[in-house]
Amino acid sequence: MITVRRAEVGDVEAIRQIGLVTWPVAYAGLVSDEFITDGLAQWWSPEAVERGIRNGITLVAAEGEQLIGIVGLGREGDFWVMWKLYVLPDHQGKGVGKALLDAAVKALPEGTPELVLDVLVGNDKAIGFYRANGFREAPKTPDRDLGVELMWMSLDLQTA
């Protein structure tokens, strides 16, 4: 059985492992090896993961004792942004991503109008997942320049 719960500081290492395993598989061929190495160092360091738990909303999916997926949201200006949604490769396609997304939406403060995210252009698997789950191209977005092509998507939470 899969359960989704709020992450605790004691989960930092297990969350990091999800990034370290999933990123290279998800992004091979889409971005440079350097982008993957730098991104893991910047966004999946123990400090960055702990900051996400303390300052934002981080939820984990667990199967028994093992953490198999993670979603991370944070506030950026007027926006709530989903910065991370990653399911271990062996556990993808079984509803874990959807369970994390649903729990993330529920965890947002009441009245939040939309949830936005950025996804690498070319990450068609993720874009397909987001479209299938109600995300559309975002008209308004936070500023972010990573030196790679990003697509911003938005989930309308007002008319849902």
Residues that bind ligand COA (CB under 6 A): 22, 26, 85-87, 92-98, 119, 123, 125-126, 128-129, 132-133
Which residue's CB comes closest to ligand COA? 97
How is the chain split among helix, strand and coil, in percent rounded to 5?
A: 40, 30, 30
Q: At closest approach, how far in Å is the CB of 48 from ligand COA?
A: 16
Q: Which is nearer to ligand COA, 54 or 125 (CB)?
A: 125
Residue number with CB closer to ligand COA (75 or 94): 94
Closer CB to ligand COA, 2 or 157, in the complex: 2
> Long-range CB contacts (< 8 A, 24+ apart) of 151-155?
151/118, 151/119, 151/120, 151/121, 151/127, 152/116, 152/117, 152/118, 153/116, 153/117, 153/118, 153/119, 153/127, 154/114, 154/115, 154/116, 154/117, 155/105, 155/114, 155/115, 155/116
Of 50 and 102, which CB lies nearer to ligand COA in the complex structure?
102
Q: Residue 132 CB, nearest distance to ligand COA (Å)?
A: 3
Q: CB of 90: closest distance to ligand COA in angstroms? A: 11
